[in-house]
Amino acid sequence: MFLLLIIIVIIFIIGIPVLLSLGIYKTLKKKEVNSKWRILAFLPIFIVGYFVYEAVYPSPEFYKEDFKEVTGIELPANSKFEYKTASFPDQFGDYTSVSIINVGFEFYKSLQSDLTINKLTKNRGSIGCTEMDNVQLKMNELKIESEYSKQDGDKFYYVAFLSDRKTILVQRSSH
């Protein structure tokens, strides 16, 4: 039953823009509109394609928002994402995101005290998931020095400080 529902949703998500684009294209062709303008008929397909791409490959802004949700602090502008991954949201909007972020030495030092102010507890550990398994492979020689986490209703927040003293690992999970 659930599979049938997914198939119907996919048909609507893909089918409606395709049919709309074809209808617009045929209308413009009948009216003998310049062929350069007929490409606009495919705009619905491009728009849906963009949203699908954003859902599969979230932008850095998505991970910055997750960082703020987890820590209660804005990510510094000079931060660099070393690695980022997220699960696709389920039917309830729940997902897991994990990122390795180079935040610099100064922010790294101050973040630990800020986390305790925002009620993250030291040494609770992360939630195991595919995204965390993948991030472990991307940490290279870096080791986790300290960990902070917090359960907030159906959301779990986790921050790990890595051994280079300028990089952190952030996990946000909902279920």
Domain that holds residue 99: 60-174
- pLDDT tens digits, 99-116: 999 999 999 999 988 888
| Residue ending a domain, choose from 19, 39, 56 | 56
pLDDT band at residue 71 under the 50/70/90 scheme: very high
Q: Given a cut of 70, is residue 59 above it in pLDDT?
A: yes
Q: How many domains does the chain have?
A: 2
- Distance (Å, whole) CA 170 – CA 83: 11
Residue 139 or 160, more confident: 160
Q: Tell the burial category of 138 from Cβ atoms under 10 Å away from its Cβ (0-12, 13-18, 19+).
A: middle
pLDDT band at residue 124 under the 50/70/90 scheme: low
Domain shared by 19 and 66, yes or no: no
* Cβ-based neighbours of 163, under 8 Å, separated by 6 or more: 142, 143, 144, 145
Domain shared by 137 and 65, yes or no: yes
Domain shared by 105 and 151, yes or no: yes
pLDDT band at residue 78 under the 50/70/90 scheme: very high
**pTM attached to this predicted model:** 0.74
Domain shared by 11 and 43, yes or no: yes
Domain shared by 109 and 32, yes or no: no
